[in-house]
Chains A and B, each alone.
Chain A
Amino acid sequence: MMDRSEVLDILERHKEASGQLMSILESLQSKHGYLSQEAMELVAQETGRSLTDIYGVATFYKAFSLEPRGKHLISVCLGTACHVRGGPAIAEEISQQLNIEPGGTTPDREFTFETVNCLGACALGPVVVVDGHYFPKMTTSKVGEIIAKAKTGLDAVEIDTDKRVFPVEVSCAYCNHSLMDPHHMIDDQPGIRVTVSFEDKHGWFVLSSLYGSYKIESMNPIPRDMIMHMFCPHCHAELIGGAKCPECRAPMVPMIVRGGGVVQICARRGCKGHMLDLGGGTLE
């Protein structure tokens, strides 16, 4: 079950700054997929915080789960935009097909189904995210197909088709403002410019728009493995969705691709996790 040393490792990394409970729990959550009682007790012991506080925080945020999750995570957006476009009917359908309530996990630990409030892709609503893959403009009739696809593994399909290198043009999922910066070229292409913050640092961050290239430039040097928060430089909304990186379980940063679809990159510095869904292409 839980590996003590893994937890201690995470605690060691967060040692410097006090008041880092959130990031400790975040790391634990992404490592194990949930917060086990033992893990929380160990955190309490090592940080000298009371278990009551830790438990309070862990149960307060929806980002933390106290129960082991299923292999596949299905999130249905019930944010305002998706709600009016029929999100609840889709949630209902998934609930019925999997025979679990939102927040539940199937007894065979295959699927966890949850509802979320806005995934940051309102223009594509109603949105369903399965294992980090966005399915835009969902209908109830597609539900069965998606569940079947998820079982065979959406990631497996994705990775070999994404080997090509091509430039993408992206915009903010909230305000739809283009994130391309023609004044900042990387790989001879306009870079994608966002604002990042981590620890107490805040600054610009430009990444290559070549899909498959990992070149970046940043105002502040970013330590490896740091999980960054990215913000739209125009509307200042945090670019964050419900999805987790398939490789390191850090949150994924969604951006809208011009011409339809969503590209997601892992928020962890140095992790190469990324995904591209072009206009529901995975369904064709």
Chain B
Amino acid sequence: MVTLHINGLQVSQEKGTTLLEAAQFLGFPIPTLCHMEGLTPYGACRLCVVEIGEGPRARLVTSCTYPVEEGLKVRTASRRVIKARKMILELLLASCPQSKTIQDLASAHDVKQQRFKQEHEDCILCGRCVRMCEEQMVAKAIGFRGRGQDRSIGTPFDEKSEVCRLCGGCMFVCPVCELRCTYTDPDKAICGGCGNHSAVCLEKPQFDDMMCYMDPCVACEIENIKEIKED
């Protein structure tokens, strides 16, 4: 067992557990994007950063790939972490504004602006689909190609793959090519529609949640939290 401190709380964890798992065990929320249970941690999106160490040696690491260490001091929501997270979300919004997952994360983390050149990519290279295809479907039909600017995901030679069984797993796990965020103004990166309180479902009670395809819905969650607080 390895003993460490997370946000001041002492916790003992099995060797080999990640900081993310340890923090979740204690109930500290850490947002993740490329991480997915059942797939090997990949550390691509950097959203799960936490701060470890102390003083000038403190640094940010991705909690989904960092294993617990004896005596480690971890902060999951320090000012530095929050700042980094917001920046990462801003960058993600800059490349994929239509991803509902990213929009929801941005709303939930109070990202109010997007200061970068707006692009409209349809992939953030989180590698979920690649790992899904390889690890769960044992097909390896798609993979990373090229590098740097030209990195992309797809089949070799962009040809129809012979090993693909059309299981759809890749699309199922994709945080970007899922249901599109259909905000009205395509040039405005931050929607916040589901996150702000003017969501139709909240204003008009006749829309019960049966009619809502937004699941999980940030608006509902915020509303829930408010109700809990008020009680």
Q: A residues within 8 Å of B by Cβ?
A: 37, 40, 50-56, 59-60
Contacts and interface: CB of A to CB of B under 8 A. Distances in A.
B146 A40 contact: no
Given A40-B156, A55-B157, A50 B163 contact: yes
B169 interface: no
Interface string B135-171: 0000011111111000000011100010100000000
Contacts of B142: 52
A37 B155 CA distance: 13
B156 A54 contact: yes
Contact of B140 (A37, A40, A50, A59): A50
Contacts of B147: 59-60
Contacts of A51: 156
A54 B143 CA distance: 10
A56 B157 CA distance: 10
A54 B145 CA distance: 10
A-B residue pairs, 9 tightest by C-beta? A55-B156, A52-B143, A50-B140, A59-B146, A56-B143, A59-B145, A51-B156, A60-B147, A52-B140
Interface of B: 140-147, 155-157, 161, 163
Nearest to A54: B156
Given A37-B157, A40-B156, A51-B156, A56 B144 contact: yes
Nearest to B146: A59
Nearest to B162: A51
Contacts of B143: 50, 52-53, 55-56
Contacts of A37: 157
B146 A60 contact: yes
13 contacts: A50-B143, A51-B156, A52-B140, A52-B161, A54-B156, A55-B157, A59-B145, A59-B146, A59-B147, A60-B144, A60-B145, A60-B146, A60-B147
Given A52-B155, A52-B161, 17 more contacts: A37-B157, A50-B140, A50-B143, A50-B163, A51-B156, A52-B140, A52-B141, A52-B142, A52-B143, A53-B140, A53-B143, A55-B143, A55-B145, A55-B156, A56-B145, A60-B145, A60-B146
Nearest to A60: B147
Nearest to B144: A56
A56 B141 CA distance: 12
A40 B157 CA distance: 11
A53 B145 CA distance: 9
Among A40, A52, A59, the one with the most B-chain Cβ atoms within 10 Å of its Cβ is: A52
Nearest to B145: A59
Contacts of A50: 140, 143, 163
Contacts of B141: 52
A55 B161 CA distance: 13
A59 B156 CA distance: 10
Contacts of B145: 55-56, 59-60
B22 to A, nearest CB: 33
A117 to B, nearest CB: 12
A52 B161 CA distance: 9
A180 B147 CA distance: 39
Contacts of A40: 156
A206 to B, nearest CB: 37
Nearest to B155: A52
Contacts of A60: 144-147
Contacts of A53: 140, 143
Nearest to A41: B156
Contacts of A55: 143, 145, 156-157
A79 B62 CA distance: 32
A141 B141 CA distance: 50
Contacts of B144: 56, 60
B160 to A, nearest CB: 12
A55 B158 CA distance: 10
A238 B147 CA distance: 23
Nearest to A50: B140
A173 B143 CA distance: 38
A37 B141 CA distance: 16
Contacts of B140: 50, 52-53
